[in-house]
Amino acid sequence: MSTRITTPTALSWLALSSALSLLPQVAAAQTGDAKVTQFVPDGDLKNAVAKKPQGWDFSLALSANLALAQSSNVVGQPTGVSYLMGFGVTGALEYLDGPHEFRMTLQVLESFSKTPALDDVTKANDVLRLEGLYSYFFNEWAGAFGRATFDTSVLPTEDVRATAVDYQITRLNGMIENRLAQRKLTLASPFSPLTLTESIGLIAKPVDTEPALITVRVGGGGRETIASGVFINKDVPGTPQIDITETDNVIQGGIEGAAGIAGKFKEQRLSYAADFGLLIPLANNDAKKRSATDLMRIGFAASVNFSMFDWLGLTYQLRLQSDPQLVEGFQVQNNFFLTFKYDVIPPRKVEEAPKADPIADAQAAAAAAEERAKAAEEKAKAAEDRAKAAEEKAKAAPEPPPPAAEPAPTPP
């Protein structure tokens, strides 16, 4: 009975347990990590709202993960060495200028595994993704956008078996091709399949805060997947052979919608993201002439990251996709891994608004009241001094002479 080789999930848990065992030593080596919270009066807080850095910004980060396991004469475990190792490159180029927002991101993820059941090193993950998004906002929360993405794999994809098996390949024209007694079958060549997507329409950000940024996009979109000659494993359990299906190029265009939420909580060192999107391909090249709703492409992606330190994080990723024209059924990917990260070029930090302090507010109000009372007191004293000076001036002035007597009247 043949054994299908899949991504070794147990190794991901091994990576977690191995790294967690090192945390007490790492924590003991950390010094000076305490952060001082800045408090200001509420009046000053209103003038210190966090602002996104304007102009160009570039960031580049490298990541790596490694897990090892060795067993010898252990009941229920294969004897030998297992490992999972990988690396990643993440880059971003951003430009902000008032209503203009441009962001281009690059992601490269590669990981490899080996188990005692197989002498070969197999590919566990292989992603190359480039995305560009330009938005122009009419006001603070609504605008227009244009988006383009490029998705592919860097290395060839192979189906590798511990022992020789028979492959039965169903070609696009319905012909059946048998490849007997083989341990390997190349499913896709490097940079294949390759998917391009384009979309344009309206964008809205009804909520734009650090804990939650909600984005909604609606418009028209196109998608091209160059997959001619790519094989997909569609094995039916219980059959003696491994069933393989050949795929074809997919071209679609139609109505597109997407919604997403992302955020982070700095105090808890937690960040998250979730995106949902669909494309109703009103125009397509489906050979079976299915309707646009039957060919509707649906995708969902979610991730959660917990940063134990600036250089060490725990990440879980989930990807679900329904793409009937390319392959029947849902495509599901789960990744759970511990990552060591190094910022080669860190992004510019957003100016943080200091936190308000009620004690500082009360002290500032008391000081202001005291200043007003002091000014009133000085004003009253000045008025009193002016009155006193006027009184003294009146006392010092000479008395006016008595009025002259009127002459006596002349007798008749």
Predicted confidence (pLDDT) per residue in 276-333, tens digit? 999 999 999 998 999 999 999 999 999 999 998 888 889 899 999 999 999 888 889 8
The rounded distance, in Å, linking the Cα atoms of 84 and 114 is 7
Give the pLDDT confidence score for residue 409 in this predicted structure.
Answer: 60
Looking at residue 392, what DSSP letter applies? H
pLDDT tens figures, 39-83: 444 444 334 334 567 899 999 999 998 887 777 777 767 778 888
pLDDT tens figures, 70-129: 777 777 677 788 888 999 999 999 999 999 999 999 999 999 998 888 888 899 889 999
Give the pLDDT confidence score for residue 108 in this predicted structure.
Answer: 95
The mean pLDDT value of the chain amounts to 82
Q: What is the CA radius of gyration of the chain?
A: 37
The rounded distance, in Å, linking the Cα atoms of 285 and 325 is 9
Give the pLDDT confidence score for residue 178 in this predicted structure.
Answer: 93
* Paired tokens of 326: 């390319």
Return the percentage of the chain with pLDDT > 70, whole number.
80
List the one residue out of 159, 164, 157, 158 whose CA is nearest residue 183: 164
Please state the separation of Cα 244 from the chain's center in Å: 36
Give the pLDDT confidence score for residue 368 in this predicted structure.
Answer: 82
List the one residue out of 37, 134, 63, 53 whose CA is nearest residue 312: 63
pLDDT(232) > 60: yes
CB distance 182 to 117 below 8 Å: no
Give the pLDDT confidence score for residue 384 in this predicted structure.
Answer: 80
In angstroms, how far apart are the furthest CA atoms of the chain? 169
Return the percentage of the chain with pLDDT > 90, whole number.
51
Give the pLDDT confidence score for residue 18 in this predicted structure.
Answer: 40
pLDDT(335) > 60: yes
pLDDT tens figures, 3-51: 333 333 444 434 444 433 333 333 333 333 333 334 444 444 334 334 5
CB distance 335 to 320 below 8 Å: no
175 Cβ partners below 8 Å, 6+ apart?
Answer: none
pLDDT(240) > 80: yes
Fold held by 53-349? Outer membrane phospholipase (ompla); Chain C (2.40.230)
Torsion of CA 247, 253, 258, 262, to 10 degrees: 60
Name the β-bridge partners of 278.
Answer: 257, 298
Name the pLDDT band for 411 (thresholds 50, 70, 90).
low
Mean pLDDT value across residues 368-383: 82
CB distance 295 to 324 below 8 Å: yes
